[in-house]
Structure 1
Amino acid sequence: MILTVFLGFIFGGILQYAKLNKFNTISGVATLSDLTVAKAIAMAVGLGAILLNVSIGMGWAGYHVKPFVVGGIILGGLIFGVGMAILGYCPGTLAISLGEGSADALAGVIGGLFGGLIYTVLLPSIQGILGPDLGKISVNSIAGGNSAAFYAATVVLGLIFIGIAFGVHKIEKRPEKNMKWLLAGILLALLNTIVFSKGVSNRPIGASTTFPYVADWLSGFTNNSYFEKIQVPGNWEVFFLLGALLSGLILSLIRGEFKIQLIHENWVKYKNNSAVSRAIWAFIGGFVLIFGARMAGGCTSGHVISGGMQLAISSLVFAVFVFAGLLITGRVFYGKAK
């Protein structure tokens, strides 16, 4: 438990360093006004794919590929992207920003808990739209195992993702942009590789399972197969996000940046200055975010980054639909700045 909290604390510190947890930064991707998150993720996936697959090849870690459940990945990805744009946080960054005093993150957490509970209740009736399940497909499984061709493909794909990160940075037109995303991406790749290690956690970093796990436990709705399925990862993620929460609180206090805040600059810029409006939409965004994450079986950290590093086809496809949902919502929900 202590180790997991510590890992979560490091995770939170990395994201805070490059402001990857901030509402303005994440909503900025939806409005194409700030691509820091996209650059950091591409860097983490690119470098992480090389590091992790070498580590697995050496026998130091194992694969934890998520199955390619077609309906869940596509619909869940789109829904997750919608929630991410409206809320302005991911499941993992919610905890960090809550620690920093962001009250809208609290509204998002509450919405996420409801989303997790409702998903558990509805799962038996929506099971049909989640399939078909094509299995745990990855570049490694397609290449037939630990072959020279697989490692060559891994290096090439890793370099492509890294190239995308630098390419996006080059074309991004934002006067205040810096290179903190680069170090954050590198550190996320290293941290995830460490977490995957058999001697550490032997699992990927994740966050969204926390919400149905906690919500089902609080409501007493635990006598079902889904709760049994998520008990182990849910318990781990609770302590991981506790570390992220403590990171947000402690580091913001040390920096003198802790601040109770409900409305952020981008919300005023694109929407309004109403506290009620922001609180309601944060709740809705949290609900939609977690419902979509559970449909797909993961989130930004557990699917896009952790799965992307494994070159899992389900995770790469999920990432495409997340960004599609994110950008469409940015266009429709935020529109143009006032």
Structure 2
Amino acid sequence: MIEVTSPIWIGIIIGAVIGGLAEAWGISNPEVLLRLGKWQDRLFVGCIAIAIGTGALALYGLAAAGVAFHWGIKPDYIVGVGLGGIIFGIGIAISGYVPGTVWMALGEGRRDAIYAVLGGLLGAASWTLIYQTSFGHWLVTYLNFGQIYFGGQADTNLGIGFMLAIIWAVIMFGIAYTLPRYKKGKSCAYVSTHKDYKLTPEEQNQYIETTNTLREGSSMPLGKDNLPEKVNYHWTVSSKLFGVVMLSVGIIIGLMVVLGMFFHQIFGESTTYSWIVAELWLPATYWKYSSTVVNTVGWEPFSDIGTLFGAFLASVFLTRRFQSFNNVIPPSWRERFGNSQIKRSVGVFFGAYLMLLGARMADGCASGHILSGDLQMAVSSVEFFVFVMISLLLTAFLIYKRHGNKLLGTDGGLMSMEQRRKIEPKIKNEKGLKIFVVSAAIILVLTAALASGSYNGYNPNANAVAITGFVAIVIIVMTAAWLKTKYNNYSFEGNEENGS
């Protein structure tokens, strides 16, 4: 039996890889999940399906071969998980965020992510209060079938689990291969079997519009004929999820989750919110849920910092989407509610509140349930995902059914790559910034390692987490200040009339 339990600061590295790749996908942008709710862009479903299929094969194949893992299958208490999924889906439809993408968005320098963090903390605190009541106790005990997956109890019947994982992977890859990414678009299966297929004008507009949406508010000029331009105009907007780049990203994320389970635990993001609540407001000495959290939380606070910082690194070096906290409101939201920053702040706060309340009620979120849980073929996670999608689609339909379907910048005309090249500022000498960011990344990891040492148990030292998180935030704020000064408060807008 091969078994490892790593120091908890290693979570920063796992989180950074996943956060960076997800930022490149564009999932840190709330508009991506809002469009998923409107069923206009299914990127999230396709990419997660690839990660789940890959991870399930690797996890159960290695487990059957004798490799030990730190399993994290969530208990299936049917009513609580289902209700939590419904509330979680409503929160996504309003905010455009899940717990992990909030940290990614903060790393990307998105202003509304600040309000999402605050709303999320209040949502987590609300569940801690509810858990103390008889109703909360009933939610997590009624029809509770324990930690079960398709093959039985967690960490049992691993040979059968591997056979089931093969079937599960075929289903997941089939979804990604046959589900068209864009509304009225073509699937990977169609494009692959029609070698002479060319994009329609509508599809070309979808590509350009998606690029502009992902880059809206960026404080960094993109430049031309470089890696960031390829990432933004070709790889992340493509409907070919089985293209080399998109497929590779999904595979790597799935394998990183498995690697995390080998080292210490599953990849999860929402527990950190409850842990912060326990440390700051509702102590474990009295509150039952806080006691549960502090005795079971592992490297989540560090992996969340890693998620934040990985997205930051990707937004500076790979995609150049770092926003320096510019005033940006997602197109779907502003088409429905207007361009008011106050409305967006209130909306994202309330949406994040519901999202975290639902996540903690169900004992997991998009990371712990939908990614890590479905990768483990957990029954509770499949139930959670079904309720989340139904709730998300219905809520988004009710909120945005008559709004938010116009392309970004329709009134001014979509800005093509060539038009953007003509009007955006030239990239200035950023050598100092790059040296600072790379040095800061090394300092961040060293800070976490020195502050937490070789500790590999549960309930990380709050001071170690606080110091590491503070260093990460200072680095991000300093970068924002540098870019605002360097590029004279530049903010990209994706239409012809307001492009500079």
> Paired residue for 1:155?
166
Q: TM-score, normalised by structure 2?
A: 0.64
Cα 1:30/1:8, change in 2 over 3 Å: same
> Paired residue for 1:228?
291
> Paired residue for 2:316?
253
SS in 2 for 1:59: coil
The Cα of 1:325 is off from its aligned counterpart by 1.0
> Paired residue for 1:18?
25
The Cα of 1:172 is off from its aligned counterpart by 4.5
The Cα of 1:233 is off from its aligned counterpart by 4.8
> Paired residue for 2:338?
272
> Paired residue for 1:82?
90
Tell me the matched-pair count: 335
> How far apart, in 2, do the equivalents of 1:144 and 1:302 lie?
17
Q: How does 1:79-228 map to 2 (within 5 A)?
A: 79-125=87-133, 126-130=136-140, 131-141=142-152, 145-146=156-157, 149-169=160-180, 172-174=183-185, 175=203, 176=207, 177-178=237-238, 179=241, 181-197=246-262, 200-201=263-264, 203-223=265-285, 224-228=287-291
Q: In the TM superposition, what whole-angstrom CA distance separates every residue of 1:193-228 from its partner, at most 9, and x where no partner exists?
A: 11111xx22x11000111111022111533223222
The Cα of 1:263 is off from its aligned counterpart by 1.1
The AA in structure 1 aligned to 2:259 is I
> Paired residue for 2:388?
322
Instruction: Indicate the percent of aligned positions where both proteins have the same amino acid.
Output: 30
The Cα of 1:145 is off from its aligned counterpart by 4.2
CA contact (8 A) 1:271 1:334 kept: no
The Cα of 1:139 is off from its aligned counterpart by 1.3
The Cα of 1:158 is off from its aligned counterpart by 1.2
The Cα of 1:149 is off from its aligned counterpart by 4.5
CA contact (8 A) 1:66 1:297 kept: yes
CA contact (8 A) 1:114 1:287 kept: yes
The Cα of 1:173 is off from its aligned counterpart by 2.9
Which range moves more in the overlay, 16-25 or 232-241?
232-241
- Corresponding residue to 2:76 among 45, 68, 82: 68
Q: TM-score, normalised by structure 1?
A: 0.93
> How far apart, in 2, do the equivalents of 1:27 and 1:12 lie?
19
> Paired residue for 1:37?
44
The Cα of 1:278 is off from its aligned counterpart by 0.5
Larger helix proportion of the pair? 1
The AA in structure 2 aligned to 1:5 is I
SS in 2 for 1:169: coil
- Corresponding residue to 1:244 among 294, 307, 317: 307
Q: In the TM superposition, what whole-angstrom CA distance separates every residue of 1:87-142 from its partner, at most 9, and x where no partner exists?
A: 11110111011111111111111000011111111212222234221111111217
The AA in structure 1 aligned to 2:321 is E
Which range moves more in the overlay, 136-145 or 269-278?
136-145
Structural RMSD (CA): 2.1
> How far apart, in 2, do the equivalents of 1:325 and 1:264 lie?
20
> How far apart, in 1, do the equivalents of 2:304 and 2:159 lie?
38
CA contact (8 A) 2:132 2:288 kept: no
> How far apart, in 2, do the equivalents of 1:8 and 1:170 lie?
26
The AA in structure 2 aligned to 1:188 is I
> How far apart, in 1, do the equivalents of 2:399 and 2:369 lie?
25
The AA in structure 1 aligned to 2:278 is D
CA contact (8 A) 1:213 1:235 kept: no
Cα 1:171/1:266, change in 2 over 3 Å: closer
> How far apart, in 2, do the equivalents of 1:16 and 1:127 lie?
37
The Cα of 1:182 is off from its aligned counterpart by 2.7
The AA in structure 2 aligned to 1:196 is M
Higher relative contact order (CA 8 A, sep 6+): 1
The AA in structure 2 aligned to 1:58 is A
> Which structure 1 segments of 5+ residues have no match?
none
